[in-house]
Structure 1
Amino acid sequence: MSFNGSAGGSQSSRMAYEFGRTHVVRPKGQHQATIVWLHGLGDKGSSWSQLLESLPLPNVRTDMDFLSLIKWICPTAPTRPVSLFGGFPCTAWFDAQDISDDVSDDMQGLDASAAHVANLLLTEPADIKIGVGGFSMGAATALYSATCHVSRQYGNGQPYLINLSTIIGLSGWLPCSRTLRNRMEASNETTRRAASLPILLCHGTGDDVVAYKHGQKSACALNSAGFQNIMFRKYEGLGHYTIPEEMDEVCRWLSVTLGLQGS
């Protein structure tokens, strides 16, 4: 489950939170890529690590032997009060109030989670292609990481040192869409990085948690800001969950965009 926004100046956004356990699904073949995968609001890393461990999923026609080449890192968000739930604590990558341009984004929470993701990737070998993906609030955090990669800095101005090769967002949205264009106007290098970063966005028309229109609007905002390599996949009737066909799409996307070899 996931929403966005946040009381940017709320007490919760000024506090530091401890991230939970990280689960790793190690490659069964030659390690060629590492993807950090981020769960949704109230979930934990183990839920997705179990799903990713089972890929390729049964009853889906695929030649996904290359999945054995991917290492999946599934961290767990801090437990923090969430404005959406009246301050009730649950696992969340940042404080969530609503999905709307009318609310302030929890920049401190977004920066902290993006930095945590970056730190998980810092020790990966230089020849390994790396990316960030996620579901719902995890997708929002992945897209925020994309903006940090492109601008080479976090929202607080600190340098972002990770070179991402791909971004995946399922049933999510783009935080900080109001300020994205300003961040993108920094330099020609920023424009070049944005244009070349492959992004896959998937969203169901039946999503009653993060409405389809938010996913569609996010794709348009990214594109208008200079992210030109975006694939937006629409799933008729799909609610706020994933299905085997969608994960099959994710796997095929990774195979092509990362150029995985040896399957």
Structure 2
Amino acid sequence: MSFNSSAGGGQSSRTTYEFGRTHVIRPKGRHQATIIWLHDLGDKGSSWSQQLESLPLPNVKWICPTAPTRPVSLFGGFPCTAWFDAQDLSEDAPDDLQGLDASAAHVANLLSTEPANIKLGIGGFSMGAATALYSATCHIFGQYSNRNPYLVNLSCVIGLSGWLPCSRMLRNRIERSNETVSRAASLPILLCHGSGDDVVAYKHGENSARTLSSAGFQNLMFRSYGGLGHYTTQEEMDEVCRWLAARLGLQGS
């Protein structure tokens, strides 16, 4: 699927992003929630599908899209799958708003066709987690950075070993409306990070959680895992399952 993005209302610069294959894991029980899961830099949607399918969440439908293949500044312009361009994997890096908007819109489009009574969530690992958190900010503002409306009503967001893009913009804009503050306060967010992460440093996950909390995301849980590197463990995924079941009110089967 391709997506055209323009940097702003009157800008003429447009980029077309070609997203890769999307993998869908159907619920084994009664469908109660749909969660988009976003992979890491250089990965693809299918790599997470087996692990997600094995989780004890029979009421969840998982959708695993694949990011566009694009030049990435971090790799000297070498192309690989990436949700946005990154010079650095941290909340201090310059923000590729055009790429972030395109990926957040692609995710929102995938969720927009779900039934009205289904709870919707976005999760991800590393760069996928960053994109999920960016989607959370679009949700509370009701729009992307290019001012196009964000129409998906999110019920939860999960970020593993990630960081918050656009943290400066979030701090500057959060206090503008009561509706924004209310949405931020009510959106459940789970962030998990390993203290031994040598790809996205633990401090970036911790700082991102602190920024979100100070911006009004009151329903946020930050879990740290001693010694954990840039990967997931059974303990961490068990935490994700418990948190999702509780926050989304998932039934047995």
Tell me, yes or no, whether TM beats 0.5: yes
Kindly provide the CA deviation profile for residues 24-61 of structure 1, in whole angstroms up to 9, marking residues without a partner as x: 00001100000000000000000001211122xxxxxx
3-state SS in 2 of match to 1:234 = strand
- Residue in 1 that maps onto 2:72: 82
Residues 238-257 of structure 1 aligned to structure 2 (within 5 Å):
238-257=228-247
**Paired residue total:** 242
Shift in Å, 1:118? 0.1
State whether structure 2 residue 113 is matched by structure 1 residue 123. yes
**Equivalent of 2:128, from 117, 138, 147?**
138
**Equivalent of 2:202, from 208, 212, 230?**
212
In 2: Cα distance, 1:214 partner to 1:182 partner: 19
Return the structure number with greater relative CO, CA threshold 8 A, min gap 6.
1
State whether structure 2 residue 131 is matched by structure 1 residue 173. no
In 1: Cα distance, 2:142 partner to 2:85 partner: 24
In 1: Cα distance, 2:20 partner to 2:243 partner: 29
3-state SS in 2 of match to 1:156 = coil
State whether structure 2 residue 217 is matched by structure 1 residue 227. yes
Q: TM-score, normalised by structure 2?
A: 0.93
Structure with greater strand share of residues: 2
In 2: Cα distance, 1:239 partner to 1:101 partner: 18
Q: TM-score, normalised by structure 1?
A: 0.89
Shift in Å, 1:99? 3.8
In 1: Cα distance, 2:105 partner to 2:37 partner: 14
In 2: Cα distance, 1:31 partner to 1:178 partner: 38
The 1:108/1:160 distance shift into structure 2, 3 A limit, reads: same
Unaligned runs of 5+ in 1: 1-7, 56-63
- Residue in 2 that maps onto 1:5: none
Unaligned runs of 5+ in 2: 1-6, 8-12
In 1: Cα distance, 2:109 partner to 2:117 partner: 17
Structure 2 residue identity aligned to 1:111 = D
Q: Report if the CA contact (8 A) 2:209-2:222 is conserved.
A: yes
Q: Report if the CA contact (8 A) 1:131-1:167 is conserved.
A: yes
- Residue in 1 that maps onto 2:81: 91
Q: Report if the CA contact (8 A) 2:132-2:158 is conserved.
A: yes
Shift in Å, 1:14? 5.5
The 1:243/1:143 distance shift into structure 2, 3 A limit, reads: same
Q: Report if the CA contact (8 A) 2:91-2:163 is conserved.
A: no
Structure 2 residue identity aligned to 1:250 = V
What is the root-mean-square deviation in Å for CA atoms of aligned residues? 1.4
In 2: Cα distance, 1:29 partner to 1:224 partner: 38
